[in-house]
Amino acid sequence: MKILQLCKKFPYPLKDGEVIAITYLAQALHQLGCEMTLLSMNTTKHFFDKNSLPKEFDHYKAMHLVEVDNRVKAKDAFLNLFSKQSYHISRFVSPKFQLKLIELLQANEYDIIQLETLYLAPYVDLIRNYSNAKIVMRSHNIEHEIWKRITENTSLGAKKMYLSLLTRRLENFELEYLNKYDMMVAITERDLNFFKQLGCSIPAHVTPIGLELKDYKKVTTQHKTPTFCFIGSLDWMPNSEGIEWVLNKVWPKVLEQVPNAVFHIAGRNTPDSLLTKASKNVVIHGEVPDAADFINAHDVMLVPLFSGSGMRVKILEGMALGKVVLSTDLGLEGIHAKHGEQVLIANTVKNYVKEVVSCYQHPERIQVMGAAAADFIHEYYDNLSIGKRLLDFYRELIGSELVGAVGG
């Protein structure tokens, strides 16, 4: 099967959930015999030099990068107010990307064109004009829901009003395109049910993010007392919201009970406002060279999320490495681990403090729960098994259409 994968940023290095989700699934499909081709935007924010790729990044038959300037610009954002377009989406509409896509469609016959995230949806009509391939929307999350939650968590004022406008337009776009694809592939069962409630009636499948489990080697720390960590992109609003919540409301109460507890924070694009909060109990690392090494250096991973949707790859990674993950219900969406068995869940300041202190005071439970977490990931989130189920779904749909055509 020939698959063309469209991405809004180049899927390397493996430093965020979207990139990991794209790369690991592409690797699995390649291992299962698919011919994979990549067409990716190379954006200003996530610019990547293709020449620096490691040799083992070899699962694509061909890779095509198109430079796209998708920066948020004050003039464009202002002018957008006088249109009905979603500014979130319009920043990813590129004439150069369109031309390259047309060139590939004219030169190749693909079976599947897989759009990675909603931001590639503007190219659906163009694809229809030049290809008979099945168009698949692989939705990494419900985009407008993320922004609704962010808007709800924003204080009253001009910013909230502006975010509300952007969110409504994004929602309208997401709903308009809901049935324009041939197939919908959601990351979680919860997301798929949400799409169906919104009116999605096309063939659909749940494909959770899988991990290349051989890449995750557990290392047991030698700490006398547990240390706590967070890792994630700190310019992503749900992450920054969660960290501020922990630092302002949770951590001071933790220190009242266990004054020597230490919280380590790592992530790309660390804001200056966060750097000022560094202390002997809060260590700010900035961007680290290897996420797995950072996670392995600590005992408990905190994932305090109150907005966003989809699945959190860093939770899967932490569990695969045998770490205890303390998250909110929302953070664990799509991951059916159980509180007290493979993970810890807390949604209020009081309960979050309670779980952190309990981990600190009872380190023996960390080893047991961490082992259970790793077993859970190996059972349900193996990349190749997940890829095989998706490929079976693709074959079934393509095959059923062929049978229908012959029967007609």
Name the phi and psi angles at 393, rounded to 5: -65, -45
* Run of H or E including 40: strand 35-43
Under 8 Å between Cβ of 174 and 86: no
- Please give the single-letter amino acid code of residue 185: V
Q: Where does residue 282 fall: left (phi above 0), alpha (psi -120 to 50 degrees), or beta otherwise? A: beta
Structural domain boundaries in the chain: 2-210+383-407, 214-380
pLDDT of residue 403: 36
Please report the DSSP string for 65-112 in residue order. Answer: EEEE-----HHHHHHHTTSSS-HHHHTT--HHHHHHHHHHHHH---SE
- By C-alpha distance, which of 168, 158, 62, 153 is closest to 107? 62
Task: Say what the pTM is.
Answer: 0.85
- Please give the single-letter amino acid code of residue 343: V
DSSP state of 121: G
pLDDT of residue 75: 84
Give, for all 408 residues of the chain, the pLDDT tens digit.
999 999 999 999 988 889 999 999 999 999 999 999 999 999 988 899 888 899 999 999 999 999 999 888 888 888 888 888 898 999 999 999 999 999 999 999 999 999 999 999 999 999 999 999 999 999 998 888 878 877 887 888 888 988 899 999 999 999 999 999 999 999 988 899 999 999 999 999 999 999 988 888 888 787 889 999 999 988 888 899 899 999 999 999 999 999 999 999 999 889 888 998 999 999 999 999 999 999 999 999 999 998 766 788 999 999 999 999 999 998 998 899 999 999 999 999 999 999 999 999 999 889 999 999 999 999 999 999 999 999 999 999 887 554 344 333
- By C-alpha distance, which of 377, 374, 313, 381 is closest to 11? 313
Report how far residue 69's alpha carbon sits from residue 95's, in angstroms, rounded to the nearest whole number.
11
Please give the span between the terminal C-alpha atoms of the chain, in angstroms, as a whole number.
24
Report how far residue 102's alpha carbon sits from residue 113's, in angstroms, rounded to the nearest whole number.
13
Look at the alpha carbons of 147, 153, 159, 165 in this order and tell me if their dihedral is positive or negative: positive
Q: Which fold has domain 214-380?
A: Rossmann fold (3.40.50)
Q: Which fold has domain 2-210+383-407?
A: Rossmann fold (3.40.50)
Please check whether the two domains, 2-210+383-407 and 214-380, share a CATH topology.
yes
